[in-house]
Structure 1
């Protein structure tokens, strides 16, 4: 164990910048990484404000942060694809490689997965971390640390687009223009959609999404989303619908949005049970897919960013110095409609 200064969630509503013992031993197959940029995720904020997410309860001090990029400082025995000095981003979930889920390629739903900043696992809002090399990805020279720290949320969008089975020229609908909804829209466009209709109640969020060619914003305070989709598709419906809001109320209209034989991908997690019109879905053979984090998406996400086909830089609203971490989290709690992604820059040697 090594004492490191970190942003620690002591308990619900209480954050502290203080020293804490964290493991830094570099075993075979591992790398030690100096953190450069860490994003503030909605789950981090939820632990701060609620102290728990479902069965995961903060009952001991925990370092926050899981969207991260940095520089390799040391490589363990057997690591050949990374070297000291490499700029990298890290996939924050570490599964059991021998679990049945991992053997089937679905390591993201391995019950034994250890995920940064998910109790009782510490996150990475600290100076250094040790991580498996197999879940550490080299950043191309034209991809910044800030973009590298955006790969984690973008991977969720990539997982959603993959599960949708998008075909070139498809029309998609995204419900919810928050950070994940916007990432899903960009992944859908990169995956072959000709256009993405994105719906939200907050106009500032829609304005940010509308910066991207191919995204059509719809303010559902002013317009009926079903009517808008029907008008844009000549009454046929969307090929794919991504539910990213997590609102149970969204399900009052979700089934009415896809075309016959279309697909609904559930990305947002409702906080309460929801009712689905199975009869309507069945008679039109609507396919329903679900998403939990991601698997095998990091390399593809990095390749898209490096190619210029996906530009995540406009989504970075503000960057805070590490010593302003508590201020950054309090800003995130405000949930300003004009904020997409807040990031924290770690001290550099």
Structure 2
């Protein structure tokens, strides 16, 4: 069905056309006009207010692919997003016009064994924003199924709500590793996923958080989010430093969030006997050599982490509590018309930029 005309006319003026930033091919982003999508009975039309640029967006922008996901036709990127509900389908009951919402970007089937078992992130039929061939959120309006929209309180900014997406990865990794209060945790890689993982493990009660990266600005940001110790790997050997900080024992849980083979091997080396390793980052190659005798002899548990499931309500609650200042992660702000510049900034300015945000309906300072 189309947009609920009568409801809209009395509350929100929605245009028929909108601007979108379209990736035609690597390094080629064009601002064009496309129709505002028409919603189905179980969908909501959302006016997109903030979209964070993710590492996957950069991969598609730069290389046109991530593993088996290949950009074969023009695509709209962006999946870390939030906005305002401006139209609702007739079967929508939980979201109303005017609600400020965080958008969980993966729409799953709800019927397969993974969905029914609560691990819907493994659904083989998921439609995930900005993952080929599904268009993403670098648009002024987007339609989304109601059950993957979550109201946010007034005290939570649109920017913070968009950051609930990468934050959810850290929450899910903490759940996968059954992270216990009082744990000593190491996190390799302080990109946006690693930084939000610092906040996640802190929320789960980690007593000591050791982080490693080669960019000092990211280490400084990790410290502000609650990291106990930071290691600049250009200056110190992370294995030696972590062993020193843990009295030679190693950490209870290590996260690898950089997608770097060396970082993964390092993470494995710093886990204590009987400890756990969560693999969050995706490396460019399919196979990486790991020390199998070390894994077996020390009975290490290794967890693969793919996106997240059932994390958004908890993430919103934690963010709204202001236990961490995620606003400080926002270093660069761009309009939709500046999406290419925003992508270049995120791609090339790792020494200064932490999180680059695009505002499809105008830059907002919150």
Name the TM tier (shorter chain): over 0.9
**Secondary structure, aligned partner of 1:187:** helix
1:316 to partner: Cα distance: 0.7
Runs of 4+ residues deviating >4 angstroms: none
Superposition deviation, residue 246 in structure 1: 1.0
Distance 1:120 1:214 in 2: 38
Answering whether residue 148 of structure 2 is matched by residue 157 of structure 1, we say: no
SS of residue paired to 2:92: coil
1:227 equivalent in alignment to 2:232: no
Give the 3-state SS of the residue equivalent to 1:8 in structure 2: strand
**Please, which of 322, 334, 355 is the counterpart of residue 341 of structure 1?**
355
Aligned runs of 1:303-322 on 2, under 5 Å? 303-322=317-336
Shift of 1:322: 1.8
Task: Tell me how far apart the structure 1 counterparts of residues 142 and 98 of structure 2 sit (CA, whole Å).
Answer: 15
CA apart distance, 1:21 = 4.3
| 1:245-284 matches, cutoff 5 A | 245-272=258-285, 273-284=287-298
Verify the 8 A CA contact 1:31 1:131 in the aligned structure 2: yes
Do the aligned partners of 2:279 and 2:303 also contact (CA within 8 Å) in 1?
A: yes
Q: Secondary structure at the match of 2:307?
A: coil
Cα displacement (A) at 1:200: 0.9
Per-residue deviation, 1:214? 3.8
| Matches of 2:225 and 2:17, distance apart in 1 | 44
Q: Do the aligned partners of 2:277 and 2:303 also contact (CA within 8 Å) in 1?
A: yes
Question: Residue 242 of structure 2 aligns to a residue in which SS?
Answer: helix
Stretch moving more, 228-237 or 145-154: 228-237
1:41-93 residue CA offsets vs partner (Å, 9 max, x unmatched): 11111111101111111111111111111001111122222111000010011
**Residue 133 of structure 1, CA deviation:** 0.6
| Distance in 1 between residues matched to 2:175 and 2:139, nearest whole Å | 33
Aligned length: 347
- The equivalent of 2:133 in structure 1 is 120
Measure how far apart 1:275 and its partner are.
1.2
1:201 CA displacement: 1.5
In structure 1, C-alpha distance between the alignment counterparts of 2:128 and 2:230, rounded to whole Å: 34
User: Corresponding residue for 1:42?
Assistant: 55
Normalized against structure 1, the TM-score is what?
0.96
Query: 2:11 maps to what in 1?
Result: none
Gaps of 5+ in 2: 3-15
